């Protein structure tokens, strides 16, 4: 789990990042980013699968992002996971998210 100081929790903040920020896309996820304070939120739509699958994918993505918080350089992120991420392995999701996060650095 991300520490509380690194979580976007209010819907207004999440909407602001999505509307005002820029985005990076991959086949497994879209990352919306905006200048902020190194916080993240994760969006898993119901098209991803049942609750167990959505939670599994969200936990994987959260763990990947948590390992790269130091390199975010004060960006707020909203990671929107695509349905293809439900069938991907941890390694596939990690390589997709890390390559997108490296573009921010």
Q: What is the SS3 assignment for 7-57?
A: ECCCHHHHHHHHHHCEEEECCCEEEEEEECCCCEEEECCHHHCCHHHHHHH
Q: Is the pTM of this model over 0.85?
A: yes
- Indicate if the pLDDT at residue 70 is higher than 80: no
At 74, the pLDDT band (50, 70, 90 cuts) reads confident
Residue 77 CA to residue 31 CA, distance in Å, equals 7
DSSP code of residue 84: G
Per-residue pLDDT of 28-57, as tens digits, reads: 999 999 998 889 999 999 999 999 999 999
Q: Which pLDDT score is estimated for 94? A: 94
Give me the pLDDT at residue 2, please: 81
Q: In terms of Cα–Cα distance, which of 78, 104, 77, 82 is closest to 93?
A: 82
């Amino acid at each position: 789990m991300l520490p509380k100081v690194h979580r976007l929790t209010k819907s207004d903040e999440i909407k602001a990042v999505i509307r005002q920020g820029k985005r990076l896309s991959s086949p497994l996820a879209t990352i919306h980013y905006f200048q902020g304070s190194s916080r993240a939120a994760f969006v898993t739509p119901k098209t991803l699968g049942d609750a167990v699958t959505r939670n599994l994918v969200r936990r994987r993505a959260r763990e990947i992002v948590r390992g790269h918080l130091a390199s975010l350089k004060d960006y707020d992120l909203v990671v929107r996971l695509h349905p293809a991420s439900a069938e991907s392995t941890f390694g596939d999701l990690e390589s997709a998210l890390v390559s997108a996060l490296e573009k921010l650095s």
